[in-house]
A and B are shown apart, each in its own frame.
Chain A
Amino acid sequence: MSFFSTPVRPNAVRAAQDSRSGRQRFFQGATPWLFLIVPLIFLCLFTLLPVANMIWYSFTEWNGLSKDKEYVGLGNYIEFFTRPELFRVFLVSLYYFVASFVQMGLALYFATILSFNTRFKNLFKGILFFPYLINGVAIGFTFLYFFRPGGTLDASLAALGLEQFQQQWLGNPDLINFSLSGTSVWRYMGLNFVLFLGAIQSVNPSLYEASSLDGAGKWQQFRYIILPSIRPIVGLSMILAISGSLAVFEIPYIMTGGANGSMTFVIQTINMAFKFNKVGLASAMAVILLLIVLIITWIQRRLVPDEKVNLT
């Protein structure tokens, strides 16, 4: 059975063995495909075919059910960019974009202080990370209860003597996106924090000792040892924040369904396709989002090379 295997070999060696029968060579060539056939079928069916179909649908007017699709050219794209109420979703994603920088700032702060000797370090680390693992629907309900009138937030304000700040956290359209993006910070900060902490802890500890012998303070250690060691992961997180803030879905969908001015790009796309049966327009929106993500990824690959910063 040994002819089944095809190790990576120089061409010369392979050519020397090519005298074997055609049947054998067929099996030799087919082996990798036997391993790849199932993954490739899945990939074609659930990623490539949908992407191709989506591009096709985006040039048609189609309700998702009827047999015929009417070709409308760029009509759906023009409709998206000329209807301000559709275009508005980009403004909403700005809240999440800004929030993700708050999130990274907090993550960086807590990763830094927990990289120094701290009592109950593992407990604090666990508490700060745990929200990231919780089911999104459970988080949505927890924060509906948190923000509801007379809920956890209002009661906390009352306990602190700040009753005058109690208000409609989810009812006020000027406030709702702050509340929802705040929930998003609560949910995702832990992942950034653990990633940053991991990067900081991969620094050789003797560097800290050496630097403090040289008279470096905590700030200087942060500036010259910690910051350079985590620059790649911070850069990556920042760029992911852009596509992440456009792809926001779960928290606003579960908590408000996009009401009160909290509509996001993805909620709108989903509603367009499955509620209003405008698959053509929804596909155009999905293609726009896909293009934005691809462009951002391309920029990321250019700006943040894969190499790891090595200080030692």
Chain B
Amino acid sequence: MKSATFGGLKYLTLIVASLVTLLPLVTIVMASFKTSREFQESGPFDLPESFGFENYVEAFTKGGMLHAFFNTGIILLVSITGTVIIGAMTAYAIDRFEFRFRKVVVGVFLFAVLVPAVTTQVATFQVVNNLGLYNTRWAAIVLFMGTDIVSIYIFLQFIRAVPRELDEAAKLEGAGPFRIFWQIIFPLLKPAIATVVIIKGFAAYNEFYIPFLYMPSRDLGVISTSLFRFTGPFGAHWEVIAAGVIIVIIPTLIIFVLLQRFIYSGFTQGATK
């Protein structure tokens, strides 16, 4: 009896929590299919009369979403590639070599992981500006690559697990450190690379602050900033804003459904390192 009420309560709370999670999104989906007049006259729970994609077309064309996906795509590709290479190289150097100032280097990286990027933007802005990167895609790319210490930690964990005998054997065969890194170590880091790509991919796709601050030009709009600009021209047109929101969420949903298992383990690793 007691166990039955527990079971009932368990499913009740799960269903309520799922409703609370999904309801805000479901009403956005419904709003996105309504015409302007229909939206004015109906409540959030009233089903749309028909499922036309006019709002989506408008969000895509007038809202510049196509261009935003292009910009986000470029930034994502370059910064993730850079992060993976930089992270793996740093971890290799720190774990496999003994050199002067090694402790200092490790200490500096340890300090950097503590500095919340959000606080230093006041001064980072001046650096980016002086480098002439303000209002270019490079601003986001270098900031995504340059301030990611978590990925170095993830690579470090994996490199430690790669037996040193492999390096030694390759060296006896006459391979130099760069060949050892590219042909022996790097391919063995695939699980770490997957983790970094997942964490970094979501972070870069969702990043709002950096593109907003450093890339104000309309042509450089990424997903977040382009959607943010919907408030101006579509101010009262919630149905178009809703379509924009769904356009942004759909790629996330598809990736999540396809890669669920990797995503859970990736974020668990990333958060506890």
Task: Decide yes or no whether A229 CB sits under 8 A from chain B.
Answer: no
B-binding segment of A1-9, A17-25, A86-94, A170-178: A1-9
Per-residue B-contact encoding for A261-276, CB less than 8 Å = 1, 0 else = 0000010011001100
SS of A interface (majority): helix
Chain A residue contacts of B116, Cβ below 8 A: 243, 247, 289-290, 293
Q: Is the CB of B96 within 8 A of A266?
A: no
Measured CB to CB, the closest approach of chain B to A124, in angstroms, equals: 5
Task: Decide yes or no whether B36 CB sits under 8 A from chain A.
Answer: no
Per-residue A-contact encoding for B87-128, CB less than 8 Å = 1, 0 else = 001101110111110100100110010111111111111110
Q: Is the CB of A42 within 8 A of B86?
A: yes
Measured CB to CB, the closest approach of chain B to A74, in angstroms, equals: 18
Extra A-B contacts (14), CB below 8 Å, given A7-B167, A46-B147 = A5-B167, A5-B176, A29-B99, A35-B97, A46-B127, A46-B146, A47-B117, A118-B11, A130-B21, A135-B224, A145-B238, A146-B24, A286-B120, A294-B114
Q: Is the CB of B119 within 8 A of A250?
A: no
Q: Which of A38, A124, A135 contacts B18 (CB 8 A)?
A: A124
User: Would you list which residues of chain B between 221 and 265 have a CB under 8 Å from chain A?
Assistant: 223-225, 227-228, 230, 238, 241-242, 244-245, 248-249, 252-253, 256-257, 260, 263-264
A7, A118, A137, A195, most chain B CB atoms within 10 A: A137
Q: Is the CB of A35 within 8 A of B24?
A: no
Chain B residue contacts of A29, Cβ below 8 A: 99-100
Chain B residue contacts of A142, Cβ below 8 A: 24-25, 28, 245
Q: Is the CB of A46 within 8 A of B122?
A: no
Q: Is the CB of B119 within 8 A of A269?
A: yes
Task: Decide yes or no whether B57 CB sits under 8 A from chain A.
Answer: no
Q: Is the CB of A32 within 8 A of B99?
A: yes
Measured CB to CB, the closest approach of chain B to A2, in angstroms, equals: 6
Q: A7-B168, A47-B120 are in contact. Are A42 and B145 (CB under 8 A)?
A: yes
Chain B residue at smallest Cβ distance from A141: B245
Q: Which 10 A-B pairs have the closest CB atoms?
A: A42-B146, A35-B93, A32-B97, A50-B123, A54-B123, A4-B176, A1-B176, A46-B146, A53-B123, A50-B120
User: Would you list which residues of chain B between 6 and 33 have a CB under 8 Å from chain A?
Assistant: 6, 10-11, 13-14, 17-18, 20-25, 27-28, 31
Q: Is the CB of A110 within 8 A of B45?
A: no
Q: Is the CB of B22 within 8 A of A290?
A: no
Q: How many A-B residue pairs have CB under 8 A?
A: 273
7 contacts between A and B (CB under 8 A): A4-B176, A32-B102, A43-B112, A46-B124, A47-B146, A110-B17, A282-B122
Chain A residue contacts of B145, Cβ below 8 A: 42
Report the bound CA distance from A4 to B175 in whole Å.
9
Chain B residue at smallest Cβ distance from A38: B86
Chain A residue contacts of B227, Cβ below 8 A: 135, 137-138, 141
Q: A126-B256, A137-B208 are in contact. Are A247 and B118 (CB under 8 A)?
A: yes
Q: A133-B202, A194-B267 are in contact. Are A143 and B24 (CB under 8 A)?
A: yes
Chain A residue contacts of B127, Cβ below 8 A: 45-46, 49-50, 53
Chain B residue contacts of A12, Cβ below 8 A: none
Task: Decide yes or no whether A109 CB sits under 8 A from chain B.
Answer: yes
Task: Decide yes or no whether A221 CB sits under 8 A from chain B.
Answer: no
Chain A residue contacts of B24, Cβ below 8 A: 142-143, 145-146, 152, 186
Q: Is the CB of B93 within 8 A of A47?
A: no
Chain A residue contacts of B238, Cβ below 8 A: 145
Chain A residue contacts of B143, Cβ below 8 A: 46
Chain B residue at smallest Cβ distance from A119: B11
Q: Which of B123, B147, B171 contacts A2 (CB 8 A)?
A: B171
Q: A36-B89, A155-B44 are in contact. Are A8 and B97 (CB under 8 A)?
A: yes
Chain A residue contacts of B125, Cβ below 8 A: 64, 273-274
B92, B97, B256, most chain A CB atoms within 10 A: B97
Per-residue B-contact encoding for A137-153, CB less than 8 Å = 1, 0 else = 11001110110001110
